[in-house]
Structure 1
């Protein structure tokens, strides 16, 4: 990406941040290219580089007029503790830059990190979270964190389910991010799901038959992406309309974590698993694991949230690669998982396309975006 284009994109983002929370309405223009970007937990300049390499940026520092970009969520939190300030600014820049585009050009989907701003962190101030985080930083030692010290910590900070959440998972939280997330929720710019075709759905982590049953969608419509998106977004919109403070809960779909109930649960956290130790965890909803054999047949879901390494651990052992698209296909009995875009499937199969390729790692040239129209990786030249 040339320096002039980069400077225009950054200037557009900074102007959007300075303007304060806002959302540009749809303009009704026909878009000929529809692209999914996996979890953008990376510096804003890395995101811009990837978009430019795939021919998606225009000369004004925004998306090309013919492009509709769908971001699958998790726009915040990455990197070491020493870089929190920079990361916090970078995440806000990205969200503001996306929101500055018309709603029918940049689709913002919610991830668990985005919802954390109005969930576990809903009642924190900058000062109180900094105090909690400083304490968490002293205690957090991964799997070796002292259990007794952690119990004392969450007793003092009951909105948090663990030391790890404050020290690592929501490491770059700032109040300004929460203001933006709340505004974009109320403006209907942050969505749970986006219907990209008759049976093609985009969302953060995926839904199963049980999830669709919870929201009251009749089984005969589970393969209809529009009906599924409307049902999921409807739950969120009703919850947001009724929300007057405290953590935002989406009944049956998203329950933020806390000291009393533990880690957050629901469709923004869940990952596929065939592991025996997860046999009980996949039975109920909301949850953090699901049985991929329970995916709605006839529906293709394009998701982020889960990297190749984790799917290899939970579903299908094999060589791990970051950056690449991956797919899972099931007929309700067998489960096939492999690198690459999905094969042709029929009404008796369910498909997941995984787009979280660890954006901040490796070369920008190796990070693949998903072409919703051709259902393949977007070429580097964008054609």
Structure 2
């Protein structure tokens, strides 16, 4: 067995041990980070996630991150695979969350995605038995395509807490009660965050925020290019919502509204994606929403996000799908009028420009050595070390 394989096995054992215990989180500790990296949506088997980290020399022999490595996960730790993979995928997602939480909070920074919040949102009232019942019915009426409208409406009448059969059959299809227990714990101890400021002008979060979203936080315009203040405002909104949350779906007023049969799909800053399509012109107005106009991004701020793969980004920006790739970093730059989108890290920012850096590279479909991580210090794709050393 190679050294990398031994390290991955040690990490898998660490993750299994953590997941077998009650929800927990290691508090922040003093640390000096020699490498700071962002990993896009880890919706893949834990072994694949760890193989990517091992390829970049980030794992120590004890199965944890090296003590001088900081890793920021942009969220969506659950839900991948086909129906036959549900059990293994559910266990894998839980093990990933438990493994990350076994690191100091400032070393493994855990950001929320819509799939993470779904455990405390659309799925807040489900037991394992009730979810299995709802999913069996959803599988019958949503066999991988559009459900019959009459069957869908009958389904929603029986399960009004969800917005569609598709959400139960596919989108949040790996749910287990124990996942919700972990998510709730990590919310209440403030381990799961909305956003992380990596520099004064670099904000890391799941899907990105616009001027309208920041209006909800009442952050003054003069502070909206300051990543520290933006992160603090978004995290304060989350903390206030969690403090007031006693039962039912968790809602962050104006920023995150879980979906249900009456209101439709979930909306807000964990769901939204940039779109320039004419048919989305009305959908990008106001907030919360599922689409936003990238020309409304706050100028002077670089946002590092996940949530959207290359092929979908191109489609929603009105670009040709030709050249879409898995595994690569991408960027969008706008001056409020023009929007440019391309593979790779963004060019040095210019005054007044707003930038998105996309890190969701379809992890499950991409070979581990080809999956790019963002190096926050070089602001480019991380360079894996030579085999002889980190």
Q: TM-score range by the shorter chain?
A: over 0.9
Residue equivalent to 1:89: 91
Taking the aligned partners of 2:147 and 2:376, their CA distance within structure 1 comes to: 43
TM-score in terms of structure 1 length: 0.98
Secondary structure at 1:2 match in 2: helix
| Correspondence 1:335 to 2:339 | yes
| Correspondence 1:377 to 2:384 | no
Secondary structure at 2:364 match in 1: coil
CA deviation after TM superposition for structure 1 residue 33, in Å: 1.1
Which of 343, 348, 355 pairs up with 2:352? Answer: 348
Secondary structure at 1:212 match in 2: helix
Cα-to-partner distance string for 1:97-126 (whole Å, 9 max, x where unaligned): 000000110000000000000000000101
Which aligned runs of 4 or more in structure 1 are off by greater than 4 angstroms?
none
Taking the aligned partners of 1:303 and 1:4, their CA distance within structure 2 comes to: 31
Taking the aligned partners of 1:39 and 1:156, their CA distance within structure 2 comes to: 32
| Correspondence 1:130 to 2:132 | yes
Taking the aligned partners of 2:304 and 2:267, their CA distance within structure 1 comes to: 20
Secondary structure at 1:360 match in 2: helix
CA deviation after TM superposition for structure 1 residue 142, in Å: 4.3
Cα-to-partner distance string for 1:117-160 (whole Å, 9 max, x where unaligned): 00000001011110000000011044431011000001100001
Taking the aligned partners of 1:237 and 1:28, their CA distance within structure 2 comes to: 24
Residue equivalent to 2:6: 4
Taking the aligned partners of 2:274 and 2:338, their CA distance within structure 1 comes to: 14
Secondary structure at 1:69 match in 2: strand
Taking the aligned partners of 2:193 and 2:314, their CA distance within structure 1 comes to: 29
| Correspondence 1:245 to 2:247 | yes
Residue equivalent to 1:191: 193
CA deviation after TM superposition for structure 1 residue 18, in Å: 2.0
Residue equivalent to 2:363: 359
Alignment of 1:281-292 (within 5 A): 281-292=283-294
2:24–2:102: 8 Å Cα contact kept in structure 1?
yes
The gaps in structure 2 that reach 5 residues or longer are: none
Residue equivalent to 1:181: 183
- Pick which of 349-358 and 137-146 moved more: 137-146
Alignment of 1:48-63 (within 5 A): 48-63=50-65
TM-score in terms of structure 2 length: 0.97
Alignment of 1:1-383 (within 5 A): 2-315=4-317, 316-317=319-320, 318-381=322-385
Cα-to-partner distance string for 1:192-248 (whole Å, 9 max, x where unaligned): 000000010000000000000111001111100000000000000000011101000
CA deviation after TM superposition for structure 1 residue 11, in Å: 1.4
Taking the aligned partners of 2:84 and 2:4, their CA distance within structure 1 comes to: 29
Taking the aligned partners of 1:20 and 1:167, their CA distance within structure 2 comes to: 28
Taking the aligned partners of 2:92 and 2:108, their CA distance within structure 1 comes to: 18
CA deviation after TM superposition for structure 1 residue 347, in Å: 2.4
Secondary structure at 1:133 match in 2: helix
Secondary structure at 1:319 match in 2: coil
Taking the aligned partners of 1:345 and 1:378, their CA distance within structure 2 comes to: 19
Taking the aligned partners of 1:341 and 1:2, their CA distance within structure 2 comes to: 28
Could you say if the C-alpha distance between residues 124 and 337 of structure 1 is closer, same or farther in structure 2, counting changes exceeding 3 Å?
Answer: same
- Cα-Cα RMSD: 1.0
CA deviation after TM superposition for structure 1 residue 17, in Å: 1.2
- Pick which of 316-325 and 213-222 moved more: 316-325
The gaps in structure 1 that reach 5 residues or longer are: none
Taking the aligned partners of 1:273 and 1:337, their CA distance within structure 2 comes to: 12
CA deviation after TM superposition for structure 1 residue 376, in Å: 0.5
Secondary structure at 2:365 match in 1: coil
Taking the aligned partners of 2:372 and 2:9, their CA distance within structure 1 comes to: 24
Cα-to-partner distance string for 1:292-349 (whole Å, 9 max, x where unaligned): 0000000000000000011110113342001000000000000000000110112210
